[in-house]
Chain A
């Protein structure tokens, strides 16, 4: 059984976030007043590396940045960055922590 962690996610963009996945699970992020999509999950199961997937749509050249912390430790000291091209950006990756 996978160990669970407290996971916090912040995705900062002026684009529209269509889909966000962690470990393959689709997780709904809500846009807050300052145009940041946020969520905190208290007990999230992670096996090995943390897999993520971001899919945004919007005006071209719109940037997005992703920050994730696990058990209140920032595992993205350098934020993960992407940029809209052809109206969308879909990026998959994994993080060691």
Chain B
């Protein structure tokens, strides 16, 4: 836990340093997720993101099109309300440091495709193209309904000391999938609420104990004069590895504050109900995000991955608390002149 906290702080400083060097860094808009990278509030834009809690780096491309002239009636418009996108993530069970530096990491890759419909219940435009505003304050309301399907591939090395020596180390190839249906609404550009249901094939690799050891292969010279020793470092996991089908119900709420100062901030509250093997597990968390204008920003979140102590080994609530950092970079111009 202590090592993880240091890692988060180190990564924060590194990112702040890198972006301070770029001067006019890309602006950053809120993208809110939990420690598993799950959210019901989709980000309708392309980005590159880092999440320290689940040790992942993610890329998202988002395709959308603005309204066009109605070919059948030039007085009205055709609202292009469908969108699609891809999300690709690379992760390292065992920490971001594995992903970045050690040669013997255990990477996982996941990819998903999403399709959606915006302005499902709250039209942003009327048929003539005028903005549709709501309430006495004339605010805009947007909503998105998103369907996502994806898969995950990961390879793990497992260690079991109770087995015969030659069977103690084994490789496990994990194949997972995810199907998610999410609906979220943005009210007045400041309040967002999202709900989602997803079903996924998951594993318990995060609950296993990381084991690191060196394996030596000794090859003696036939004439007995020399011995060669080959050594390699092995990062493995000890414990009972298992996979399960998990249904997750998510609720996210975000309030975005934009005071007169240059720094904006947001509060993210979320809850998860996970159903696997008839045993419900509640997760909940809170995230706090800072958005200095035209500078780097990111979020720090604290969450309990077993709120009611259904599956944890420890009765101490404080020991069931995790902390993580998410940072997103909006994709910069790719050689194309931009304003």
> Could you tell me which A residues sit within 8 Å of B by CB distance?
10, 12, 14, 16-21, 25-38, 55, 57-63, 65-67, 79, 84-88, 90
Contacts and interface: CB of A to CB of B under 8 A. Distances in A.
B189 A59 contact: yes
Contacts of B334: 33-34
Contacts of A90: 131
A30 B83 CA distance: 11
Contacts of B30: 59
A69 B30 CA distance: 32
B125 A19 contact: yes
A33 B131 contact: no
A28 B338 contact: no
Given A34-B332, A58-B186, A90-B131, A26 B46 contact: no
A62 B336 CA distance: 21
Interface stretch (B132-140, B163-171, B270-278, B303-311): B132-140
Interface residues of B, number: 48
B11 to A, nearest CB: 23
Interface in B225-280: 256, 258, 264
A31 B339 contact: no
Given A34-B333, A88-B131, A57 B142 contact: yes
Contacts of B186: 57-59, 87
A58 B191 CA distance: 11
B338 A59 contact: no
B117 to A, nearest CB: 13
B129 A36 contact: no
A21 to B, nearest CB: 7
B318 interface: no
Given A29-B65, A29-B66, A86-B139, A34 B256 contact: no
Please list the 6 inter-chain residue pairs (A to B) with the smallest Cβ-Cβ separation, ordered nearest first. Answer: A87-B189, A87-B140, A28-B68, A65-B339, A88-B140, A60-B189
B338 to A, nearest CB: 5
A26 B68 contact: yes
Contacts of A32: 336
Nearest to B44: A16
Contacts of B124: 16, 18, 57, 88
A67 B337 CA distance: 10
Interface of B: 27, 29-30, 44-46, 61-69, 77-78, 80, 118, 124-125, 129, 131, 133, 137-142, 186-190, 256, 258, 264, 293, 330-334, 336-339
B66 to A, nearest CB: 4
A87 B187 contact: yes
Contacts of A58: 29, 44, 142, 186, 189
Given A30-B63, A86-B140, A60 B336 contact: no
Contact of A34 (B27, B46, B80, B137): B46
Contacts of A87: 139-142, 186-190
A86 B334 CA distance: 31
A35 B330 contact: yes
B67 A18 contact: yes
A45 to B, nearest CB: 14
A31 B142 contact: no
B29 A62 contact: yes
Contacts of B61: 33
14 contacts: A17-B64, A18-B67, A20-B66, A28-B68, A31-B64, A31-B65, A38-B336, A57-B140, A60-B189, A67-B339, A79-B339, A87-B139, A87-B186, A87-B189
A42 B153 CA distance: 46
A59 B78 CA distance: 24
A66 B333 CA distance: 15
A26 B190 contact: no
Contacts of A57: 124, 140, 142, 186, 189
